[in-house]
Structure 1
Amino acid sequence: MSNQSPASQYYISSAFQNPEFVQQLWCKEDKISSILCHAVKECSVNNSDSPLSICCDYLIDYICVYLINKPSDFIHIFQDFEEAEDKTTFMNLYFQNYLVHSTVTNALLSNHKIIEAIGDYHSWIEYPLKYRATKLIQNAPAGSLTTNDLFPTELDLLNEMRDYLLSCAYAENKLAETDIIYFKTNFARSYEMLTQAKQGKK
C-alpha cells in the first residue's frame, strides 16, 4: 500500500474486523470517500500481493453490506474518486456481493439520474440489470412486465442488452402486449426466433 498516504493506511488497517470503527469512518464525510478510494485501489481484485489487501476487502464489504442504504450514498462515497475505473471496480464489487440488499439495487436501477451521475454505467450495469430481470420474470404474472420494468428507458443502453432482457421476458410469456409490439418492431429477429420456438412446443 505504498502509494497511499499514512493516514489512509492507518484508517484502512484499523477498520479490519472493527465494525464500530468503520461506522465512525462512515460519519467522517470529509474523509470516507478518499479512504474508500484508496481501499479500492489496493483491494485483492486490483492488488492481490498487497499485505493489507484483506483489510481493504473488509472495509469495502462492510460498507457495501451495512452502510449503503440508498442510491444517493453512491454519490457521497464517490466524491473523491478521480478515476472511472475505480468507480467501476467498486460498483462491480457491490453488485457481486450476495449479501447486499436488493432494495438498494432496485432503487438505483430505477433512478437514471443517479446512474448517470455515477457515470460509465456501461461498465457495471449489465450484471444488476440481468439479476433483477431474472427475479422479476420469476415472480411476475403472465403478460405483466413492461420495458420500464426491465431497464431504465432513459439510458442509452446497448441494443444487445435491451434485446436480451426483452427476449427473456417474452420467452417466459411475461411481457405485456404493448411491449411485445415494441419487441417485435425493434428486435424482429429475436422475436421471430422465439415465436417459432414457442409454436414448436405446442
Structure 2
Amino acid sequence: MQTDYLDKLESYYRESEKMDLLWRNHDDFFQLLLFSLDMDFSLSKKTSQHEYAKYFISYTSVFLVKNVLDLELIEKKTGSKIGIFMNLFFNNNLVSNELIKKIIYKSDFIGGIDGYSEWIEYPLMLAARNTISFSEKKDIVLNDLIPSSFSISNYLKEYLLSWAYEEGKLSTDAEIYFKINFDKKYKIISSILENK
C-alpha cells in the first residue's frame, strides 16, 4: 500500500493541473496529504519520496488553500495531523502575509487546534512584522497585535507590544495596556527612547 501512495505522489510531482483536479476529489487528495504528513522531514538524508511529499504539501499550502474555510476542511480531514500541516504551511515563504494575518487575527480557527502553542510563535511574528511595518504612527490597536480568539503567553504579548511601542506604532489605548501589564519593559523602552 505504501508503494501505491509513493507512486501516486510521484505522479502529482510538479503537475499543477493534476493537483488542482485532485483537490476536488477529497478522498484521494486527503489520503495522499495524510501520507505526506507522515514523512519525517527532519532527516538530513532526503529521498525522492520526501521531495514528492514536500511538493504535495507546499503546493497545497500555496495554491490550494485560499482561505480559512480550506484550512478548516484540512483540519477536519487530517485530524491530529493538522498541527504538522499548519507548521509547514506557515513556514512556507510563498504563503502571503495577508492570508497569514487573516488566519491569525480574523478567525477562530487557531484556537480550536490542540497544541497550537507549539508552533504559533513564528506565524504570529510574521503577522506582527507585517502589521508593524505597514502601520502609521500610533495606529496599532491591541487586537492588531494580540489575537483575541486564542491565548498566547505573556512573554509573546510583551515581545509584540515592546516591538510596536519601540517603533512608535502603538495607539494610546494599546500603550496604556502595555504600561499597565508590562510596566518594567515599558519603562526600559521609554527610557531608551527618551535618550535617543
Scaled by the length of structure 2, the TM-score of the pair is 0.90
Question: 1:72-151 residue pairs with structure 2 within 5 A?
Answer: 72-83=69-80, 86-151=81-146
CA distance in 2, matches of 1:44, 1:6: 19
The one of 58, 62, 69 equivalent to 1:61 is 58
| CA-CA distance at 1:194 after TM superposition | 0.5
CA distance in 2, matches of 1:26, 1:160: 39
The one of 152, 176, 196 equivalent to 2:191 is 196
2:138/2:168 contact within 8 Å kept: yes
RMSD between aligned residues: 1.9
2:5/2:35 contact within 8 Å kept: yes
- Consecutive unaligned residues of structure 2, counting only runs of 5 or more, are none
1:43/1:57 contact within 8 Å kept: no
Does the alignment pair 1:25 with 2:50? Answer: no
| CA-CA distance at 1:30 after TM superposition | 2.4
1:33/1:79 contact within 8 Å kept: no
| CA-CA distance at 1:112 after TM superposition | 4.0
Residues 71, 23 of structure 1: alpha-carbon distance in 2 compared, 3 angstrom cutoff = same
CA distance in 1, matches of 2:21, 2:5: 14
| CA-CA distance at 1:26 after TM superposition | 0.7
Q: Which moved more, 1:88-97 or 1:140-149?
A: 88-97
Residues 87, 48 of structure 1: alpha-carbon distance in 2 compared, 3 angstrom cutoff = farther
SS in structure 1 of the partner of residue 66 of structure 2:
coil
2:83/2:115 contact within 8 Å kept: yes
CA distance in 2, matches of 1:180, 1:12: 51
Bigger helix share:
2
1:178 match: 173
CA distance in 2, matches of 1:50, 1:78: 27
Does the alignment pair 1:152 with 2:147? Answer: yes
The one of 38, 41, 52 equivalent to 1:41 is 38
Letter in 1 for 2:35: H
- Consecutive unaligned residues of structure 1, counting only runs of 5 or more, are none
CA distance in 2, matches of 1:28, 1:115: 26
SS in structure 2 of the partner of residue 87 of structure 1:
helix
| CA-CA distance at 1:110 after TM superposition | 2.1
2:140/2:171 contact within 8 Å kept: yes
Q: How many residues align?
A: 196
Letter in 1 for 2:126: Y
CA distance in 1, matches of 2:9, 2:89: 18
Residues 154, 23 of structure 1: alpha-carbon distance in 2 compared, 3 angstrom cutoff = closer
Q: Residues 37-59 of structure 1: CA distance to partner in whole angstroms, max 9, x if unpaired?
A: 21021253468455411100111
Counting aligned pairs with the same residue, the percent is: 28
